[in-house]
Structure 1
């Protein structure tokens, strides 16, 4: 095989194996039983940027849709490693349409919902206001005491309440708040944002997909293979010996 074609095929294969950036996740009553997993990094607001070793995972399962309530199970896994320690004090995301309220229990027992008040759910490190955050302890923002530490997970259930009964909802912009950080070059607190997501069950939203540009590379590689094959066949025909 031509070396150029081999290189294209290799690049396309690697790209197809890598998930794309996480997309918004849209769910309706037909998606009950769907679970989606959000992987998050960790970053700070100063020059240190992304904090190596600071990672986490959020897993949500849509358990039921009853009237104006979308009901979920959740799991918050603190996967921080590499000599870094941390505590996840809250997790947050945006919702469309706007929610009217939220109920939560388990490891994160306090909901903080945007409702037009002067005090809104807020995350630092250039994130700003979010629609809802769930905290391990009562605090004036999406931070505070408690939460799961590295190597631990916290579970519970949560309900998102709407003013009407929407046919579907969209969740996006997932974040976590890290505190009590050690081993990260002086960074003591940080925010994590979604980098990838995978979905299982009835919904395909947020499932890793190959980037369109990589599909183009793969198509180019296949076309090149076809061209090389036709060229080889034509060359063989030209040198075929004549028979009397």
Structure 2
């Protein structure tokens, strides 16, 4: 695609213990309307302990860049199969430059953002700190109940907020998902997934412009009211005003 840049695998790995992940993605105003899809595996213990049957994908479409926010539509697809069941309870990634806040609507309703004071979202299975995770339920971590179950999908909008203005371009990297409520996987009941491949696409169907505008305005308003969160793990988009 025009300006969507795919980097080398593991480019933005936070520490040596963090599993290597694929394809950082850089986007700017020239990429509005373009989409990219991230495919995920599933593993317990560490990234070498892959769980057969656990898989998923997320497609992101950059909808607009307005004031201090980048707004995306997202589509989470739980492709777990082979007699295994799971719920994708959250997804996460890192952002460069740092975001000051985030909000989400649709299938996922809560955002947990690193606040720079040690109250940062973390992922288990030796992944560690992430910049933001989006969750299906309110909790003090990125592990929670609910989410998109196997064979199903969930969609909505999310916004990333910057201070004072949206930068010319941003880079997203280190994409992860969290699987909960797993059955049929030999005693594994929860696991994480890391990005295995990424690809750009075009012509992806997105919500009608009127709906995008309404939801986008709501997300922008939420971000303006909440520049920095208090030191409370129940923060981060916990009360977006969406139907």
1:197 equivalent to 2:222? Answer no
**Is the contact between residue 47 and residue 125 of structure 2 (CA under 8 Å) also seen in structure 1?**
no
When structure 1 is superposed on structure 2, of 193-202 and 158-167 the one drifting more is 193-202
The structural deviation recorded for 1:167 is 0.3
Partner of 2:168: 167
Q: TM-score, normalised by structure 1?
A: 0.72
Q: Normalized per residue, which structure has more helix?
A: 1
1:183-225 per-position Cα deviation (integer Å, ceiling 9, x unaligned): 11111100000000110249xxxxxxxxxxxxxxxxxxxxxxx
1:114-193 residue pairs with structure 2 within 5 A?
114-163=114-163, 164-193=165-194
Cα distance change of structure 1 residues 46 and 129 upon mapping to structure 2, 3 Å threshold: closer
Q: Once the two structures are superposed, what CA deviation does each residue of 1:51-89 show, in whole Å capped at 9, x if it has no partner?
A: 001000011000001122100000111000001000110
Q: Which runs of 5+ in 2 are unaligned?
A: 1-7, 10-21, 204-243
SS at match of 1:30: helix
Report the Cα offset of residue 46 of structure 1: 6.1
Gaps of 5+ in 1: 1-19, 203-244
Q: How much does 1:120 deviate? A: 1.2
1:190-229 aligned at under 5 Å gives the runs 190-201=191-202
Aligned to 2:111, the other structure's residue is in SS state: strand
Provide the residue aligned with 1:25 in structure 2.
25
For the aligned residue pairs, the C-alpha RMSD in angstroms reads: 1.7
How big is the shift at 1:47?
9.8
What CA distance in whole angstroms lies between the structure 1 residues aligned with 2:199 and 2:47? 31
Return the TM-score normalized by structure 2: 0.72
Larger radius of gyration: 1
Runs of 4+ deviating beyond 2 Å? none
CA–CA separation in structure 2 for the residues paired with 1:93 and 1:184: 26
The count of aligned residue pairs is 183
